[in-house]
Amino acid sequence: MDGTPGNTQAIPVGPSGPPTESMNDTRTPTMPTDTRQANLESILRLAPVVPVVVIHDLAHAVPLARALVAGGTPAIEVTLRTPVALDAIRAIATEVEGARVGAGTVLSPRDLDDAERAGARFAVSPGATPDLLDAADDSAVPLLPGAATASEVMLLLEHGYTYQKCFPAEAIGGVALLRSWAGPLPAARFCPTGGITPENARDYLALSNVVCVGGSWLAPNAVVEAGEWHAVEKLARAAAIFRRIG
């Protein structure tokens, strides 16, 4: 060896050596999809009904959540439809023991990021867009995306989403639709939401592909505004004993 470079090409190096795939990637390392799905399943199986709540007054957030947890429905979806929704999620996450608070009506990557920063344990969307699914890949918060057609269910399955929100359930065919999906789409499991009531919830929960249902009847606006937390707990207790097959 005479020390001359010959035809050897120099390898450009950065501050700490040769470039790597991740040198310019400043994103938080992603959680595997299977792990997020397992975390989501554990939350959805806490009770047969996930209360879907709209909080207008921040002072109601903690006592409402405590009543729902006491009644046996600890997975609580707080919809992002009011100015206080994120603060409500934050308060429930930090002050209500046993609650698994999630964010509903998540429509964008910004919504998902805000929900995660507020302490949400899961997120729920009425549908799914490419941007939202990309953001969910980079989030530790598991997403329950909405589907209303067989094609949407198939697309979400391709992205690794076993657990999906069937929305708006009653308006698109309800129990009959979900029953018809069970054969050709056996891998999918659903949380039907939209038009679910105490009267029809059992019909949904009797389906093999339904893991739980989402219901707003556990926190009626008039009851919440009146601060009747014992009434909320009673409604939750009645829902918590529903039997499910899936």
- Cα 163 to Cα 133, 144, 145, 211, distances in angstroms: 14, 6, 8, 9
Spatial distance between the Cα atoms of 11 and 23, rounded to a whole number of angstroms: 15
21, 41, 77, 228: the catalytic one is 77
Longest CA pairwise span in the chain (Å)? 90
DSSP state of 144: E
Tokens of 117: 């920063």
Tokens of 84: 């206080």
Residues 6+ apart with CB under 8 A from 210: 178, 189, 190, 191, 192, 204, 244, 245, 246
Residue of 81, 93, 192 lying closest to 141 (CA atoms): 93
165, 199, 225, 234: the catalytic one is 165
The reply to whether omega before 168 is within 30° of 0 (cis) is yes
Residue 165: active-site member: yes
- Cα 104 to Cα 20, 80, 92, 122, distances in angstroms: 38, 6, 14, 9
Helices vs strands, H then E, count in the chain: 10, 9
Residue 77: active-site member: yes
Q: Which positions are catalytic?
A: 77, 165
